[in-house]
Amino acid sequence: MSVLVFVELKNKLSKAAKEAITYGKNLGSVTVITYGNAPDNVLSEMGEYGAEKIWVYRSLNEANDQVLCNFIVKAAKKTDAEFIVLSQDQTGKAVGPRVAAKIEAGHVSGAISLPENSDEFTVKTNVYSGKAIAYVTVHSKIKVISILPNSIQPVENKVDSSISNFEEDLGLGRIKIKDLKPLGEGIPLPEAELVVSAGRGLKGPENWGIVEDLAKSLGATTACSRPVADIGWRPHHEHVGQTGVAIRPNLYIAAGISGAIQHLAGVNGSKVIVVINTDPEAPFFKAADYGVIGDAFEVLPKLTTAINNFKSSQV
C-alpha cells in the first residue's frame, strides 16, 4: 500500500516528523515529501524511521496553504497513495482538510491511534475537548490522516531510502507573508513532552521566576491558565484549555490552578499530571496522578532543587 507522508523540516528531524513517518510505515511503503532547504543528513535520517522515498521541493520556502495543498495532491497522484499522513499542527490544520476536500477523501483530524483491526479503516480521535474518544471510520478509497502530536511513539525502522528533488508548477500562493514574530527558543507547547503550568494562585507576573526555574531544570515548556493570559501576566500562546491550546504531554505539572472543567479539557490527555495547590478541595486533584497540598511558593523551588539533584545524580 502506498503511503504519502508530508513533513516540515528545519535543521533537525522534529518529533512530529518522526511520528508521522512511523505512522505511515505502519500503513505501507512510505514516500515522504517536504520542502525548503533542510540539510542532507536530516533528510536521510528519515530513512531510519521507514521513509523509502524522500522527495524535496527545495525552491519552495513558504507555507502557503494552496501551494502546499497542490504539492501534496500532485505527489499523492504520482505515488498512487492510498493514505496521506500529516501532523495535526498549525500547518496540518490549514492544509490537511484542504487536501481532503480537493480529492474528496475522508479526513481524520487528530488521530491518536493506528487503525483498529476492523473491516473498514477506523481510528481513534479526541473529541469533546479531550473528554471523550471517537472511533472514526473513513469510507473513501483515499484517506487523509492528521495525527495529533505526542500520540504515536516514534519507532526506528531503518530502510534503504533515496532522496530526489521534486519540482512542478504548484501555482501561486495568494497569502502574502509580511512578518514573523518568533515564539522564541524552546519547544512549542503542542509538541512539548514536559510542561510546567501555573495559574492565578501565583498572584502576579513577577512571581513566574519559580515556574520558569522548574521548567528550565526539567527542560519543560511553560503554560498557564486562561485568566492569567487574559490579564496579561503571561503571553496568550501559553494559555491551555478549552479555548486555548490542547496539549498531551507526558508530564503536566500544574501549580496554583484550580482545575476548572474548561482547563482540564485542554490537558487531560497528559500521561501524568502533578497538581500543586493549597486547597485540598481543588477539583484538579481528581484528575491528578500525584498531588501536593501546599504553597506553590515553597513547593516549586523545592521541586526544582529535587530535579536538579536528580539530574546531577544521573550523570
Partner 1 sequence: MKILVCISKVPDTTSKINFVDNDTKFDENGVQYVVNPYDEWYALVRALELVEAQGGSVTTITVGTSADDPTIRKALAIGANDAVRIDAEPVDSFFVSKQIANYALKENFDIVMTGKETINYNGAQIGAMVSELLDMPFVSLASKLDVVSNVATLERDVQAGIEVVEVEFPFVVSASKGMAEQRIPNMRGIMAARTKPLNIIPADDQKPLTSVLKFELPSPKTGCKYLDPESMDELVELLHNESKVI
Ligand X SMILES: Cc1cc2nc3c(=O)[nH]c(=O)nc-3n(C[C@H](O)[C@H](O)[C@H](O)COP(=O)(O)OP(=O)(O)OC[C@H]3O[C@@H](n4cnc5c(N)ncnc54)[C@H](O)[C@@H]3O)c2cc1C
Q: What residues numbered 212-231 form the site for ligand X, per CB under 6 A? A: 225-228
Nearer to partner 1, 165 or 312 (CB): 312
Alpha-carbon torsion angle 120, 125, 127, 130, nearest 10:
150
297 touches ligand X (CB under 6 A): yes
**Judging by beta carbons within 10 Å of its beta carbon (0-12, 13-18, 19+), is residue 182 exposed, middle or buried?**
exposed
Cα distance between residue 33 and residue 72, in whole Å: 8
Q: Which stretch binds ligand X (CB under 6 A): 6-14, 88-96, 114-122, 262-270?
A: 262-270
Out of 77, 127, 158, 279, point to the residue binding partner 1 (CB under 8 A).
127
Cα distance between residue 166 and residue 46, in whole Å: 17
258 touches ligand X (CB under 6 A): yes
C-alpha cell at 298: 515553597
260 touches ligand X (CB under 6 A): yes
Binding mask of the shown chain, residues 189 to 228, with x at each position contacting partner 1 by CB under 8 A: ----xx-----------------------x----------
CA end-to-end span of the chain, whole Å?
Answer: 45
Q: Say which residues have a Cβ less than 8 Å from residue 139's Cβ, sequence separation at least 6.
A: 106, 120
Q: Say which residues have a Cβ less than 8 Å from residue 258's Cβ, sequence separation at least 6.
A: 199, 200, 201, 277, 279, 282, 283, 284
Q: How far is the CB of 71 from partner 1 (least distance, A)?
A: 14
Q: How far is the CB of 205 from partner 1 (least distance, A)?
A: 18
Q: How far is the CB of 290 from partner 1 (least distance, A)?
A: 5
Q: How far is the CB of 182 from ligand X (least distance, A)?
A: 24
53 touches partner 1 (CB under 8 A): no
188 touches partner 1 (CB under 8 A): yes
Nearer to partner 1, 25 or 263 (CB): 263
Q: How large is the C-alpha radius of gyration of the chain?
A: 21
158, amino acid identity: K
The partner in contact with residue 123, picked from ligand X, partner 1, none with C-beta cut-offs of 5 to 8 angstroms by kind, is none
Q: Which stretch binds ligand X (CB under 6 A): 38-46, 88-96, 102-110, 275-283?
A: 275-283
C-alpha cell at 177: 507573508
Out of 160, 179, 185, 206, point to the residue binding partner 1 (CB under 8 A).
179
Are the C-beta atoms of 256 and 198 separated by less than 8 Å?
yes
Nearer to partner 1, 124 or 234 (CB): 124
Give the DSSP H or E segment for 75.
helix 65-79
Out of 85, 296, 303, 304, point to the residue binding ligand X (CB under 6 A).
296
- The DSSP bridge partners found for residue 123 are 136
Q: How far is the CB of 96 from ligand X (least distance, A)?
A: 23
Are the C-beta atoms of 6 and 84 separated by less than 8 Å?
yes
The partner in contact with residue 38, picked from partner 1, ligand X, none with C-beta cut-offs of 5 to 8 angstroms by kind, is none
Q: Say which residues have a Cβ less than 8 Å from residue 229's Cβ, sequence separation at least 6.
A: 235, 236, 238, 239, 244
The partner in contact with residue 274, picked from ligand X, partner 1, none with C-beta cut-offs of 5 to 8 angstroms by kind, is partner 1
What residues between 54 and 73 interact with partner 1 by CB under 8 A?
63-66, 69
